[in-house]
Amino acid sequence: MCQLKFFLLLLASLSSLGFNLAKAQSSKDVNGGVKKEAHTKPVAKPPAPNSIKKNEPGKRNVTAKPLDLPLAPQELSIAERVHVGHLPCELGASIRMTADANAPGYFDVQSKGYKYRMRPVATSTGAIRLEDEKAGAVWLQLANKSMLMDQKNGRRLADECTHPDQVAVANDMRINPPPALIDLSNLATENKR
């Protein structure tokens, strides 16, 4: 079996060598001189279908937009609860949140100096979270406020951004504060005994 493999390998290498020798011999003309081969220019590749030149008449300018991946039903249900519109924030800042009609569940968040393309991400806490993974931006929407954070640099870009629905919840929380997560009032009375 081993001899058969060796024989086949030897035969294959000799046949390829013989092919190269035959090709080299065929490049000589009848008188023994070397034939001159015509050199041709390589054929230019056709332009990619997505690229359109800017100044071609009759064609519109198209900017290649990254394809948005389809969202899962859970992510689409999160997207339905996102507040859109002009949201005033603290320190005179504001955010414009717009839903993309062509890509359900995707949002464009913009303000002075930045613009992000965000998609919903499921959380264990129930907070609405949108992310632009490429830019490292995160939008967190709570019941009483929203904030825009830059994860790459570890800072808040906008805080206390509020939609009218969130303003109503914040006012209700001031009148009827929610119970504390850790109630320390009972510990203080037990220590006094």
Domain that holds residue 163: 73-175
Q: Residue 117: how many CB atoms within 10 A of its CB?
A: 21
Nearest Cα residue to 146 out of 133, 135, 157, 132: 157
Looking at the domain assignment, is residue 67 inside a domain? no
The CATH number of the domain where 108 resides is what? 2.40.128
Looking at the domain assignment, is residue 30 inside a domain? no
Looking at the domain assignment, is residue 77 inside a domain? yes
Each residue of 89-118: pLDDT tens digit? 999 999 999 999 888 899 999 998 889 999
Q: Which amino acid is residue 91, in one-letter code?
A: L
Each residue of 52-69: pLDDT tens digit? 444 455 554 444 455 677
Nearest Cα residue to 85 out of 174, 172, 166, 173: 166
Looking at the domain assignment, is residue 101 inside a domain? yes
Cα-only R_g, the chain: 34
Each residue of 12-41: pLDDT tens digit? 555 544 544 444 444 454 555 555 555 555
Looking at the domain assignment, is residue 163 inside a domain? yes
Look at residue 111 and give its three-state secondary structure. strand
Looking at the domain assignment, is residue 81 inside a domain? yes
Look up the pTM and report it: 0.58
How many domains are there within the chain? 1
Alpha carbons 124 and 154: distance in angstroms, whole number: 21
Looking at the domain assignment, is residue 51 inside a domain? no
Looking at the domain assignment, is residue 86 inside a domain? yes
Alpha carbons 26 and 12: distance in angstroms, whole number: 21
